[in-house]
Structure 1
Amino acid sequence: MAATDPMLGGADFRTRLQNWLPKIVLAPSFAVMVIFVYGFIAFTVYLSFTGSRMLPSFDLVGFQNYERLFRIREWDTAVTNLAIFASLYIIICTIIGLMLAILLDQKIRGEGLLRPIFLYPMALSFIVTGTAWKWFLDPAIGIENTMHLWGWASFEFNWIKDREMAIYTIVIAAVWQSSGFVMAMFLAGLRGIDNEILKAAQMDGASTFQMYRRIILPQLRPAFLSAFVILSHLAIKSYDLVIALTGGGPGNATALPATFMYSYTFTRNQMGIGASSAVIMLMTIAAIMVPYLYAELREKK
């Protein structure tokens, strides 16, 4: 029997080590993610079917928490506010982001300065944004007081104190923070369009409006879809912006599902109901993300 070449054995060991080393290095991070992300998601789903109050309870009560949840008036208010906030937030951010991207795509002078200015708000946390806009919109110290000091005594802008209008102050602050990020996505899409197609359209006599309607905007479909998914995700889980800007008030006028979940879980000691509201939020995000991921994977195949 021929002896095994020690050089070949060493090469085989190095090959196996190179194959396994990335897996060994990533294994702890993967285990932590599985436990502290997906494990706690599964635990929250389980708690939503229990009678948990201040502390977790493992006595199953079926769908009672979900039935109670949809009978709570504050939950109805939170869902209505989310519908108003999310729809306006997504639509306005998309329109402003697209317009800013088209403006910068014209190779205007000062683009290098304007681009970071538009993107800067996204670098701030929602806590900072909410606090700054709270000062700006407060009638006692903000824009209303400034106008009064300038002599415009009849000027009023007290939306943040108005139960009917307070939710729109959340929209204003969120749009200010996210529009620049949406602009960056659309600008990347615009810069990726083949100029030869646009030149051919110009030679055929297409107007600027026709070029945008028939050529440019249809090719921005991935950017539109990505913006919708990201903004929807941000809208559904919005918590810190609301807390910093209005605290959910006045009264319960600006409560969202995220603030409702926190309140019932940690303030009112209704952990089961809080967990059920968190599961509803998770299902809503999944209803948006799963079709998007499916479409992306299908397109790649």
Structure 2
Amino acid sequence: MSTIAQASVPPARASGARARLQNWLPRLVLAPSFAAILVFVYGFILFTVYLSFTDSTILPRYGLVGWANYERLWRLPNWWIALENLAIFGALYIGICVVIGLFLAILLDQKIRGEGVLRPIYLYPMALSFIVTGTAWKWFLDPGIGLEQVMHHWGWTSFHFTWIKDTEMAIYCVVIAAVWQSSGFVMAMFLAGLRGIDNEILRAAQIDGASTFQIYRRIVIPQLRPAFLSAFVVLAHLAIKSYDLVVALTNAGPGRATELPATFMYSYTFARNSMGVGAASAVIMLMMIASVIVPYVYAEIRGGGNER
């Protein structure tokens, strides 16, 4: 009997070692990625915050100057232009994307013929990089080779569309390109929300005599609140950090007509050799993004805790 008991010990130990290995294996696999994120994301964020309090110019310096860079930043006219453009761009970009995305989602939710073809067409622009989108729209909106030139070739010589060259209208060209790229993504979010609504509720409302408009206004739209919130967070994040689209489309011009905080940060860091001011603007952008994302994450965590 003792021999049998002793023989059974090694398999038990082996199974315990195997269990510990299975427990630690995911952590070991994820450890390099976690370390890389810790260093190259959060470490560089902290380094940027530190640089914003230094006298750095073309290269990092480590002499602390307190809030001098932030004071200088808020005295610069170009920074105020960038914030004003961001307000215009962000409001129109988010608002138009939500309206178009919701309209397309409702249209596809009617089980129309060809939905399987239309859905990828609407989503395709999001698969492109903002550089490609900006370059394509730059060609399309250029009066010399784009839409205006085509209309002139067709005989409509009175047609003029020079927004991309106009300091007052150029920011709206950026809005057009950004809306074209992101509306399909917003549509997919709303379509997922629409497909998740209980059809029994809609049938009950129809039996009670509610019109289609009343059903959407009082039942469907309120239940899409999570989709609205998610769309706002994603679009606001994209608007604040927009850089490549602006550079490819207008290069922040004409003049400073399409300057945004991201292009301002790059120009002051590298073109004007003022890394301290550029880092300060990057920190302000980080605070903008945090003001959008942190409340959303907190609401999600709190909501999950309430459900449990």
Q: Which residue of structure 1 lines up, in the alignment, with residue 196 of structure 2?
A: 192
Q: Which residue of structure 2 lines up, in the alignment, with residue 230 of structure 1?
A: 234
Runs of 4+ in 1 over 2 A off after TM superposition: 1-4
Q: Which residue of structure 2 lines up, in the alignment, with residue 64 of structure 1?
A: 68
Provide the rounded CA distance (Å) in 2 between the counterparts of 1:177 and 1:68. 35
Superposition pairs for residues 1-301 of structure 1, below 5 Å? Answer: 5-301=9-305
For residues 19-48 of structure 1, the C-alpha deviation after alignment (integer angstroms, 9 at most, x for no partner) is 011101110110001000000000000000
Provide the rounded CA distance (Å) in 2 between the counterparts of 1:53 and 1:112. 54
Deviation, 1:147, is 1.0
State the identity %.
74
* Amino acid of the structure 2 residue aligned with 1:224: F
Corresponding residue SS for 2:161: coil
Q: In terms of mean alpha carbon deviation, does 91-100 or 151-160 score higher?
A: 151-160
Provide the rounded CA distance (Å) in 2 between the counterparts of 1:113 and 1:12. 53
* Amino acid of the structure 1 residue aligned with 2:14: G
C-alpha RMSD of matched pairs (Å): 1.1
Q: In terms of mean alpha carbon deviation, does 121-130 or 2-11 score higher?
A: 2-11
Is there any run of 5+ residues in structure 1 with no aligned partner, and where? none
For residues 57-88 of structure 1, the C-alpha deviation after alignment (integer angstroms, 9 at most, x for no partner) is 11111100000000001100000000000000
* Amino acid of the structure 1 residue aligned with 2:267: S
Q: Normalising by the residue count of structure 1, what TM-score does the alignment of the two structures yield?
A: 0.98
Provide the rounded CA distance (Å) in 2 between the counterparts of 1:221 and 1:257. 29
Provide the rounded CA distance (Å) in 1 between the counterparts of 2:181 and 2:122. 9
Provide the rounded CA distance (Å) in 2 between the counterparts of 1:257 and 1:109. 44
Provide the rounded CA distance (Å) in 2 between the counterparts of 1:94 and 1:212. 15
Corresponding residue SS for 1:19: helix
For residues 174-221 of structure 1, the C-alpha deviation after alignment (integer angstroms, 9 at most, x for no partner) is 000000000000000000000000000101111101100110000000
Provide the rounded CA distance (Å) in 1 between the counterparts of 2:16 and 2:107. 58
* Amino acid of the structure 1 residue aligned with 2:218: R
Provide the rounded CA distance (Å) in 2 between the counterparts of 1:44 and 1:38. 10
Provide the rounded CA distance (Å) in 1 between the counterparts of 2:92 and 2:44. 32
* Amino acid of the structure 2 residue aligned with 1:40: F
Corresponding residue SS for 2:75: coil
Deviation, 1:8, is 1.3
* Amino acid of the structure 1 residue aligned with 2:128: L
Deviation, 1:9, is 1.1
* Amino acid of the structure 2 residue aligned with 1:33: I
Is there any run of 5+ residues in structure 2 with no aligned partner, and where? none
Corresponding residue SS for 1:106: coil
Provide the rounded CA distance (Å) in 2 between the counterparts of 1:36 and 1:209. 50
* Amino acid of the structure 2 residue aligned with 1:244: A
Corresponding residue SS for 2:160: coil
For residues 65-119 of structure 1, the C-alpha deviation after alignment (integer angstroms, 9 at most, x for no partner) is 0000000011000000000000000000000000000000011111111111111
Corresponding residue SS for 1:206: coil
